[in-house]
């Protein structure tokens, strides 16, 4: 049988957490282990996230953590959203990214840039029962995000959107899309505009779902826009200022991806420790051999260092202090160590580690995307270097 987290394993250090944050963390951890873990393998193999679990996300308030209570949300903090993503990802990173996109990208964007009317219309639904998705990427615009070809034609009281979006997380389940299109191509990136698009808008269609290496339960789809009619009141922010919304939102989202990768790495480490305690060779548990102990110790150091980077960036963001370089550092390092720790966890398991009967194989597959989405590792290094050089 697959090794599970040992019940007497101490929790991660909580010195930076308040009592309320500790309680929140414990609640999400318990939920993830009891309600999600039994279905992780099934969802991964099917490539579908269970609707009943998503409903539980809403019931627990995990889809509207920072949304004010007046809109039906929890009135919590960005740091709490980061804790939720970490705890869910320790069990299933696919669960973590669903909650991540909802909170740290889509909800946050509306809280900052939406009009009062837009907030009143959408925030209660996003807190209550509507999954959100963020649509920026295209076939030819990845790291060069603003080379998008999706166009928005101004028709007075509405816009007509035409184009194709790719790699859109949560698209299969989403009823709401924060979507970017260029309303003035001659102006380059200064024509990019943010639109609030509902799934049933005429001319909008969710297309093919990607068959992926990892995060298989998290949907990733293309979006097709064929004269998609978007009311003018669904433009968020000023026309041509969508690039600012996209950049600032992704800066926050990178902290959450860091949390996802920390959770993933912690989950892999927990499985490795549990297996090292129960697996015997030469008459004793392999955890008694110094070589295995050293591997586990190094993994624990990496996880803790990544966690502190993520927590620091999240605290800076909540305090209203600059966090651009810190977010890039957190995202870069956590995604690097997630892959390394998951790989080493497989080695601790030996031959069974590469079988699907044990959870570390899945975590290793899930880890790869961390160095790619929400800004590649190279993009993070560029961001950090510019900050260091004062550019």
Q: What positions carry a catalytic annotation? A: 374
How far CA 13 is from CA of 9, 271, 303, 309, 349, in Å, comes to: 12, 18, 11, 14, 26
* Burial degree of 277 (CB within 10 A; 0-12, 13-18, 19+): middle
Within 8 A by CB and 6+ apart from 286, the residues are 276, 279, 280, 292, 348
Phi-psi region of 350 (alpha: psi -120 to 50; beta: other; left: phi over 0): left
DSSP 353-385: GGSTTSTHHHHHHHHGGGGTTTS-HHHHHHHHH
Q: How far apart are CA 176 and CA 179, in angstroms?
A: 9
Phi, psi of 197 (to 5 degrees): -115, 130
Q: How far apart are CA 9 and CA 15, in angstroms?
A: 17
Q: Which tokens hold the place of 235?
A: 């433009």
Cross-strand pairs, 223: 165, 206
Q: Is the dihedral of CA 22, 28, 29, 31 positive or negative?
A: positive
Q: How far apart are CA 75 and CA 244, in angstroms?
A: 25
Q: How far apart are CA 33 and CA 46, in angstroms?
A: 20
Which residue stretches of the chain are H helix?
19-31, 40-46, 51-59, 78-91, 93-100, 108-113, 116-128, 242-278, 290-318, 324-349, 360-367, 377-389
Q: How far apart are CA 367 and CA 267, in angstroms?
A: 11
Within 8 A by CB and 6+ apart from 352, the residues are 358
Q: Which tokens hold the place of 169?
A: 């997380």
């Amino acid at each position: 049988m697959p090794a599970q987290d040992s019940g007497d394993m101490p929790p991660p250090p909580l010195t930076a957490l308040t009592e309320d944050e500790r309680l929140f963390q414990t609640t999400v951890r318990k939920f993830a282990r009891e309600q999600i873990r039994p279905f992780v393998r099934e969802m991964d193999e099917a490539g579908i996230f269970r609707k009943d679990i998503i409903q539980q996300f809403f019931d627990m308030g995990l889809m509207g953590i920072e949304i004010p209570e007046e809109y039906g949300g929890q009135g919590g903090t960005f740091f709490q959203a980061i804790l939720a993503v970490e705890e869910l990802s320790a069990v299933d990173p696919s669960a973590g990214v669903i909650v991540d996109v909802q909170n740290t990208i889509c909800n946050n964007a509306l809280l900052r840039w939406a009009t009062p009317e837009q907030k009143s219309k959408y925030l209660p639904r996003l807190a209550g029962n509507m999954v959100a998705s963020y649509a920026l990427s295209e076939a030819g615009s990845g790291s060069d995000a603003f080379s998008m070809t999706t166009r928005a034609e101004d028709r007075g009281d509405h816009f007509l959107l035409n184009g194709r979006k790719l790699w859109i997380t949560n698209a299969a389940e989403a009823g709401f899309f924060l979507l970017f299109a260029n309303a003035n191509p001659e102006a380059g990136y200064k024509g990019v505009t943010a639109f609030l698009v509902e799934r049933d808008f005429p001319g909008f269609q969710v297309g093919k779902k990607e068959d992926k290496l990892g995060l298989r339960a998290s949907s990733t789809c293309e979006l097709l826009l064929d004269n998609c009619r978007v009311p003018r009141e669904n433009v968020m922010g000023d026309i041509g200022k969508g690039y600012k919304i996209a950049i600032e939102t992704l800066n926050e989202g990178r902290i959450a991806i860091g949390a996802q990768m920390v959770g993933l790495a912690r989950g892999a480490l927990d499985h490795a420790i549990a297996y090292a305690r129960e697996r015997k060779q030469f008459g004793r548990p392999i955890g008694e051999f110094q070589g295995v102990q050293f591997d586990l110790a190094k993994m624990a150091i990496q996880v803790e260092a990544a966690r502190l980077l993520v927590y620091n960036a999240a605290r800076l963001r909540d305090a209203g202090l600059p966090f651009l370089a810190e977010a890039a550092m957190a995202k870069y390092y956590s995604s690097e160590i997630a892959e390394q720790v998951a790989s080493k966890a497989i080695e601790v398991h030996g031959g069974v580690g590469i079988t699907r009967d044990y959870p570390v194989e899945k975590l290793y597959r899930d880890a790869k995307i961390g160095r790619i989405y929400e800004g590649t590792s190279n993009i993070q290094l560029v961001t950090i270097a510019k900050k260091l050089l004062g550019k």
